């Protein structure tokens, strides 16, 4: 069994189901960029009162194709179902009400069922994504906050917690780099190397991964800060985002006073 079997099963399951006003491939299959590792993302247009029944019918249809070993339901601006079959094929079904399918375009979805001409009403493409000043402000302040908590982790000898904090710093650096990705439908993080320039991938790959020791964590934190801080400052200036001077200065002081660390970013 492969992804095409899931797609065929979904189309067959809802072909005569009038509750499903539209069924589309989204994600990498909708964009035409799928590979053998891609999950199947399905977007269904279903009235609110019909969504529970459609979910149950989809679970039955999917189980007929292959046993489902993971099934998760979420309310996330619509009704989202994550499913995994026994051979680890992944499928997400996202149900939204008519007229509420969000920012979609013809080059981001592919119709399987379209009873109401939804696809024809979409624009050919979405405008390029631009950096988000509000997200940048959060990223900068959160990065400084996590650095400022380092003396607490060190003082308590919570070195494993500090390692996890290093992962948060890495995530914020990734988010900073992603600010300049203009693709409006960038998809999931599991194809990061297709979204970011090779130079940025190399920068992140070359950063040290810490062991759960004080010196290792501190070196890894500072290595990320040396990459993050100058780039964040340049982007803040470009987007007219006020830099948190006092917060940064206080964090530099606490690192110096509590840990004897020169914040040399």
The first and second tokens of residue 13, run together, are 């399951």
Q: What is the mean pLDDT of residues 177-196?
A: 83
Dihedral of the alpha carbons of 256, 237, 167, 260, in degrees to the nearest 10: -10
Compute the distance between CA of residue 91 and CA of residue 26 in angstroms, rounded to an integer. Answer: 11
Give Cβ neighbours of residue 225 (< 8 Å, ≥ 6 apart): 143, 147, 169, 263, 265
pLDDT at 189 (0 to 100):
63
Query: Largest alpha-carbon pair distance within the chain?
Result: 70
Reply yes or no on whether the pLDDT at 219 is more than 80. yes
Compute the distance between CA of residue 265 and CA of residue 17 in angstroms, rounded to an integer. Answer: 59
DSSP letter (8 states) at residue 57: H
pLDDT at 22 (0 to 100):
98
Compute the distance between CA of residue 178 and CA of residue 193 in angstroms, rounded to an integer. Answer: 11
- 120, 114, 111: which is closest to 7 by C-alpha? 111
Q: What is the mean pLDDT of residues 109-129?
A: 95
Reply yes or no on whether the pLDDT at 259 is more than 80. yes
pLDDT at 188 (0 to 100):
65
Compute the distance between CA of residue 130 and CA of residue 133 in angstroms, rounded to an integer. Answer: 9
Reply yes or no on whether the pLDDT at 187 is more than 80. no
Q: What is the mean pLDDT of residues 233-240?
A: 98
Q: What is the mean pLDDT of the chain?
A: 95
For the chain, the residue count is 265
Assign 210 a pLDDT band (cuts: 50, 70, 90).
very high
pLDDT at 184 (0 to 100):
81
All structural domains of the chain: 3-121 (3.30.460.10), 133-259 (1.20.120)
Q: What is the mean pLDDT of residues 74-81?
A: 93
Reply yes or no on whether the pLDDT at 191 is more than 80. no
> Per-residue DSSP letters for 120-143?
GGS-SSPPPP---HHHHHHHHHHH
When mean pLDDT is compared across 26-35, 81-90, 160-169, 207-216, the lowest value belongs to 26-35
Q: What is the mean pLDDT of residues 29-48?
A: 94
Reply yes or no on whether the pLDDT at 218 is more than 70. yes
pTM for the model = 0.85
pLDDT at 190 (0 to 100):
63
Reply yes or no on whether the pLDDT at 115 is more than 70. yes
pLDDT at 79 (0 to 100):
97
pLDDT at 255 (0 to 100):
97
Number of H helices, E strands in the chain: 10, 6
């Amino acid at each position: 069994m492969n992804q095409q079997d899931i797609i065929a099963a979904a189309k067959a399951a809802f072909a005569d189901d009038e509750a499903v006003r539209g069924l589309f491939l989204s994600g990498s299959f909708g964009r035409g960029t799928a590979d053998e590792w891609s999950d199947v993302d399905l977007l269904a247009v279903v009235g609110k009162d019909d969504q529970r029944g459609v979910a149950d019918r989809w679970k039955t249809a999917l189980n007929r194709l292959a046993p489902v070993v993971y099934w998760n339901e979420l309310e996330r601006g619509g009704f989202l179902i994550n499913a995994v079959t026994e051979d680890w094929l992944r499928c997400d079904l996202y149900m939204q009400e008519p007229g509420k399918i969000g920012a979609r375009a013809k080059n981001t979805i592919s119709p399987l069922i379209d009873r109401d001409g939804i696809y024809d009403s979409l624009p050919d493409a979405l405008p390029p994504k631009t950096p988000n000043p509000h997200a940048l402000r959060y990223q900068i302040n959160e990065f400084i906050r996590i650095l400022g908590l380092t003396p607490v982790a060190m003082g308590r000898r919570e070195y494993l917690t500090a390692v996890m904090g290093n992962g948060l710093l890495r995530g914020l650096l990734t988010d900073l780099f992603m600010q300049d990705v203009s693709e409006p439908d960038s998809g999931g993080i599991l194809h990061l190397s297709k979204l970011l320039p090779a130079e940025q991938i190399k920068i992140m790959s070359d950063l040290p991964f810490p062991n759960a020791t004080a010196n290792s964590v501190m070196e890894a934190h500072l290595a990320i800060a040396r990459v993050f801080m100058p780039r964040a400052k340049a982007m803040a200036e470009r987007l007219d985002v006020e830099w948190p001077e006092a917060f940064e200065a206080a964090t530099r002081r606490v690192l110096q006073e509590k840990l004897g660390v020169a914040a040399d970013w």
